[in-house]
């Protein structure tokens, strides 16, 4: 795989996972009654959209085609989140599944940030976005823990 293909492949993987998160947050915000959670989900969906747009710009700048869909794992996770929310505490069900979605994205970003086989310019974008990814992950992990201990 040449440098261009490696860049496009790596960044498109991140785009797919971030898009999964964006769509899942939007779905959860539309289904949840809690105003604070709705606002949080909407805010994080916006962050995911910004990440997708920035990574997409980098793919285009590298001469690649931007991925326009999410992943099968993301679709299954969103489906499982809906079932979990329907069968139990809706708010906790969504928070728990969204936190797992954050785990996937954080792991993918950390792997890409440490991948010395992708060009420096692409890795620099990943590293620049990583604090925002970590922040979203931390917010959802803390929210999940707080809800679990409150139950």
Domain definitions of the chain by residue range: 3-150
Residue 101 and residue 24 in contact, taking contact as beta carbons nearer than 8 Å: yes
CATH of domain 3-150: 1.20.1260.10
Residue 112 and residue 10 in contact, taking contact as beta carbons nearer than 8 Å: yes
The pTM assigned to this predicted structure is 0.86
Task: Specify the 3-state DSSP secondary structure of 89.
Answer: coil
Q: For residues 9, 22, 68 and 116, what is the CA-based torsion angle, rounded to 10 degrees? A: -10
Tens digits of residue pLDDT in 28-42: 999 888 999 999 999
Tens digits of residue pLDDT in 83-123: 555 555 678 888 988 999 999 999 999 999 999 888 888 89
d(CA 79, CA 94): 11
Task: Specify the 3-state DSSP secondary structure of 119.
Answer: coil
Q: Is 127 exposed, middle or buried (0-12, 13-18, 19+ CB in 10 A)?
A: middle
Return the pLDDT at 65. 84
């Amino acid at each position: 795989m040449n440098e261009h293909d490696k860049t496009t492949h790596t960044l498109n993987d991140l785009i797919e996972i971030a898009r999964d998160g964006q769509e899942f947050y939007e779905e959860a915000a539309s289904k949840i009654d809690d105003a604070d959670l709705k606002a949080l989900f909407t805010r994080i969906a916006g962050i995911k959209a910004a990440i997708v747009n920035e990574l997409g710009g980098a793919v285009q700048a590298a001469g690649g085609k931007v991925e326009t869909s999410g992943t099968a794992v993301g679709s299954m996770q969103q489906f499982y989140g809906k079932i979990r929310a329907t069968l139990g505490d809706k708010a906790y069900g969504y928070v728990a599944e969204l936190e797992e979605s954050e785990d996937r994205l954080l792991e993918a970003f950390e792997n890409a940030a440490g991948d010395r086989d992708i060009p420096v310019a692409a890795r620099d974008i990943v590293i620049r976005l990583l604090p925002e990814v970590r922040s979203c992950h931390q917010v959802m992990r803390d929210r999940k823990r707080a809800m679990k201990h409150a139950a």
